[in-house]
Structure 1
Amino acid sequence: MYLTLAFLLIVLVVYVLFGGADFGGGPLEASLTRYPHLRSKLQGKLAPIWEANHVWLIAIVVILFVGFPKFFSALSEYLFVPLSLALCGIVLRGTFFTFRKYDPEPEKSFKLYSFLFRASSTLTPFCFGLIVASFLTVFPDRAEASFYDMYVAPWMTIMGLLCGLFVMTMFGFLAAIFFLGELQLEEERKVIEKRAIGFFVGMFITGGFVLAWGGMGGIVDISDASTPMQIALQVIALVCVPIMWKVRSHVWYLRLVAGVVVATILAGWFATQYPVFMMFTGGSELTVQNSCAPDKTLFLLNVGLVVVLLLVLPPLVYLYKVFHGYTASNK
């Protein structure tokens, strides 16, 4: 069970780092209205091949479906609306990006497709934030719930709005950091550095509002500095931020530290949530223990995950390497 949870956290972190940087390209592109040449370069990096990152999203679904079927069933039912919106965003952003790039008459439709690409790229991380925030609320029991209470109320909250904005800024920050390493001219780097700093400040502001609102609503205890989420934020503030500032001229170090920042946030949330997946008004809970599959199923799932990772990782690494070389030769 704990090994399966570890796989879930690892795959979630990988998806947020790579897929999040991909989604963040939309907000980052929207912030470059005065720099069309940088937009063009960014569009050259956001190729449809990055959709291969969604192999990690599929892995998350498989782990939840096989390893924690009761939780997956409740998740699919209560959060059907934001999950569907996120799925639409994932599909539409790739669609509009492709239409924008390969339309035979781009001068007629480029602006429309660009707007729709940015909108769908922003919608998806916002929906992810709504989903995360819903786990901090109390879900209604099925027998007593109205349609609104069951399908809308858990995610249509102020906490959901704040978490959605937080995830959007976090993905924009990742996109800026990853894109920074693809630029050679100092003037262009300075522009993207400012965007990265802006998104990072946005992360801290929205994250602060999330913790403050959670504390007032009794959802998250922020008075105790020893809670996992507080410890994660302290590590980021005291360790990661100074290191990022010091290594800002070293691309790969900067990317590594930025990845550590995001992974620390996810690990802090994961630890704060553990062991409860969902709480219900009747007092019942869906926990890691009471929603997991039998031990034999978990064992086979873990073996399968190891085999799949060994089969998938080498082609993915080769894919990124080949495509990075292709885009570099077409700068």
Structure 2
Amino acid sequence: MELHDVWFVLIAVLWIGYFFLEGFDFGVGVLTKLLARDRAERRVLINTIGPVWDGNEVWLITAGGATFAAFPEWYATLFSGFYLPLLVILLCLIVRGVAFEYRVKRPEERWQRNWERAIFWASLVPAFLWGVAFANIVRGVKINQHFDYVGSLGDLLNPYALLGGLVTLTLFTFHGAVFVALKTVGDIRVRARKLGLRVGLATAVLALVFLLWTQIDSGNGRSLAAVVVAVAALVAALVANQVGREGWAFALSGITVVATVSMFFLSLFPNVMPSSLDADWNLTVTNAASSPYTLKIMTWCAVIAMPIVLLYQGWTYWVFRKRIGTQHIAPEAGH
């Protein structure tokens, strides 16, 4: 296997890790409006992801940096063509991080509710736009012979991409609901499971249509296997959630996320960004890659750094593994 193939796989792993981890905390952010009934319950939901949300975003930074270094042509075309959607995502992530910190700086109800609304919208919008972006990448966009994106914003808002956005939004919300059920006690835990069932059923319908559309349009044998795993894991997650096996439900919803994102990358390879104008203008792992020397240096850095990052993040989740409920939130506490 060539180094550019290795780095395509590594970047896929980084995006899978990002969507697995950030997916459930996007979902929790959405649930602050859909599930929580009062300020105490909103604080419980926010506290379930409070110790880990910023660590989850490191995966996005690493994925973006790895793409820039390993596939500069891909990075340039992606970030220039998708400039506005990616800018909106970036602004949402900034607002979301500020909201987590500023929400508790003042005790007034209006102050905290406004920042909690910001958490909801700054979670919902990226959860939707990431699906739109990746659906467009798989479907192909208007790239010319110079590898420049020549389409418009309207071209990105096609029915397939919008469906992809709805799939990621509902899937992340379901992933977040089973995470909340796993991390809480009391009434909010029961309601999270009930809401998870409803959201999960909606996800199943949307995901089945989207995955089959993707497979028919641009799939192959490898991506078909990922589709089967995604559908089977989602059904099993719904069953586990319904019978109260919350650990299994979360693991299986995570497998659904992993298989869905894997399907994107398996459908792409050996392309990294297909052109809808001419297949000869596709960006591939070969013509978009950096020099072999650059990829070699990056590989050594990844071999040294990745195990340290994984161990540290795993330790963080272990330390903050206990369930919480409204009884654990002092009336005057912010978080």
When normalised by structure 1's length, the TM-score is 0.85
Residue 125 of structure 1: how far off its partner (Å)? 1.3
1:258 to 253, 258, 277: 253
Partner of 2:210: 210
Residue 266 of structure 1: how far off its partner (Å)? 1.4
Q: Which amino acid aligns with 1:170?
A: L
| SS at structure 2 position matched to 1:277 | strand
Residue 205 of structure 1: how far off its partner (Å)? 2.3
2:144 to 141, 144, 160: 141
Partner of 2:311: 314
| SS at structure 2 position matched to 1:150 | coil
Q: Is the 8 A contact 2:72 2:289 kept in 1?
A: yes
Q: Are 2:118 and 1:121 equivalent residues in the alignment?
A: no
Q: Deviations over 1:96-115 (max 9, x none)?
A: 22222x13232232222221
Q: Which amino acid aligns with 1:265?
A: T
Whole-angstrom CA distance in 2 between matches of 1:260 and 1:51: 22
Q: Which amino acid aligns with 1:234?
A: V
Q: Are 2:69 and 1:66 equivalent residues in the alignment?
A: yes
Partner of 1:217: none
Whole-angstrom CA distance in 2 between matches of 1:18 and 1:223: 29
Q: Which amino acid aligns with 1:178?
A: F
Residue 327 of structure 1: how far off its partner (Å)? 6.4
| SS at structure 1 position matched to 2:18 | helix
Residue 318 of structure 1: how far off its partner (Å)? 3.0
Which sections of structure 1, spanning at least 5 residues, go unmatched?
Answer: 215-219
Q: Are 2:47 and 1:52 equivalent residues in the alignment?
A: no
Q: Is the 8 A contact 1:48 1:97 kept in 2?
A: no
Q: Is the 8 A contact 1:81 1:151 kept in 2?
A: no
Residue 234 of structure 1: how far off its partner (Å)? 2.5
Change (3 A) 1:242 1:316: closer
Residue 168 of structure 1: how far off its partner (Å)? 0.8
Residue 324 of structure 1: how far off its partner (Å)? 4.3
Which sections of structure 2, spanning at least 5 residues, go unmatched?
Answer: 330-335
**Between the two proteins, what is the percent identity of the paired residues?**
21
Q: Which amino acid aligns with 1:158?
A: P
Q: Which amino acid aligns with 1:232?
A: A
Whole-angstrom CA distance in 2 between matches of 1:115 and 1:15: 23
1:92 to 82, 95, 110: 95
Change (3 A) 1:230 1:37: farther
Change (3 A) 1:77 1:45: same
Residue 222 of structure 1: how far off its partner (Å)? 2.2
Whole-angstrom CA distance in 2 between matches of 1:144 and 1:300: 26
Residue 87 of structure 1: how far off its partner (Å)? 0.6
Residue 239 of structure 1: how far off its partner (Å)? 5.8
Whole-angstrom CA distance in 2 between matches of 1:239 and 1:120: 28
- Corresponding pairs, count: 321
